[in-house]
Amino acid sequence: MIGVINEQLRIMITLGIRESVEPYLNYEFVLDTGYTYFLTLPGNVIRRLGLPLIDSMEMIMANGEALRSNIYVGRVFWNGEEKIVPVLEAEGDALLGMELLYGNRLTVDITNEGTATINSL
């Protein structure tokens, strides 16, 4: 899997995500090594995909603020296969976190328009 470094030096990864039988929606995520969970998506994207709600949880943000977030279940196309993952509802940039990266090697060329490569270990 290959991503790119954007103008703000953020690692951008495009993943296919869906509910179950619909075609994948290709969506761009910010790879955030400070985010320990799987994925976040804005509420409007979750509703468009029709992801089922499974729970809610309290999250502690980087600034220390506590927020309650709904948890949905989605299917992503990851390293050549479909993977079922929890998706937290959060406004702002869609995030790809460390739980999804676990068991993979991340190599990043930190330059303008550099690449980020994710390979299974």
Tell me which DSSP letter residue 13 carries.
Answer: E
Q: Which domains are assigned to the chain?
A: 2-120 (2.40.70.10)
What sign has the CA pseudo-torsion 5, 102, 63, 94? positive
Residue 4 has pLDDT above 90, yes or no: yes
Tell me whether strands 25-31 and 95-96 are parallel, antiparallel or unpaired: parallel
pTM exceeds 0.95, yes or no? no
Q: Are 110 and 11 in contact (CB under 8 A)?
A: no
Q: What is the pLDDT of residues 13-43, one digit of tens each?
A: 999 999 988 889 999 999 999 998 999 999 9
